[in-house]
Structure formats: C-alpha cells, structure tokens
C-alpha cells in the first residue's frame, strides 16, 4: 500500500496520515510463534524474524509470552 497520496485512505480524514501502515500490518501480520529448544530460539534453515515499522517512530510495546515447561 503506497503512502502517497494520503487522501486515498478514508482513515486519514481523522487527522492521522497512517492509513497505509494499517494495510501493511494486515498483510505482514503482527505475531510470531517460535519454539525454544535448550534455551535457544529454534529456527528452521531459512527462518528468521523480521520487524517492519510502517507507522513511523512511536513508542512500542513488546509482549513475550512463554507457554509450556
């Protein structure tokens, strides 16, 4: 979703100009589940975690939830 022109997103009529960021987050997702084996993140051969910031520099909150033994 292109950022310009910002007038193409109805969301931007609220005074915000980040309508494109909402579309990009929907495509990329917002959660990741990773197994931990022997205290290490357990990735497959080609797996990595990427963080994409589409909404400018704002304060962020990261939640880590550990499930299991």
Partners of 37 in beta bridges: 40
- Check the CA dihedral 25-5-58-49 and report its sign: positive
Domain boundaries, the chain: 1-69
Cis peptide, bond prior to residue 8, ω within 30 of zero: no
pLDDT in tens, 7-49: 776 766 777 777 778 788 888 887 888 888 888 999 989 999 8
Global model pTM greater than 0.75: no
SS (H, E, C) the chain: CCCCCHHHCHHHHHCCCCHHHHHHHHHHCCCCCCEEECCEEECCCCCCCCCCCCCCCCCCCCCCCCCCC
């Amino acid at each position: 979703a292109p950022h310009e022109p910002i007038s193409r997103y109805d969301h931007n009529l609220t005074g915000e100009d980040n309508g494109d960021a909402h579309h990009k987050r929907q495509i990329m997702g917002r959660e990741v589940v990773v197994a931990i084996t022997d205290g290490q993140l357990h990735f497959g051969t080609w797996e990595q975690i990427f963080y994409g910031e589409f909404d400018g520099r704002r304060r962020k909150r990261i939640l880590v939830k550990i499930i299991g033994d």
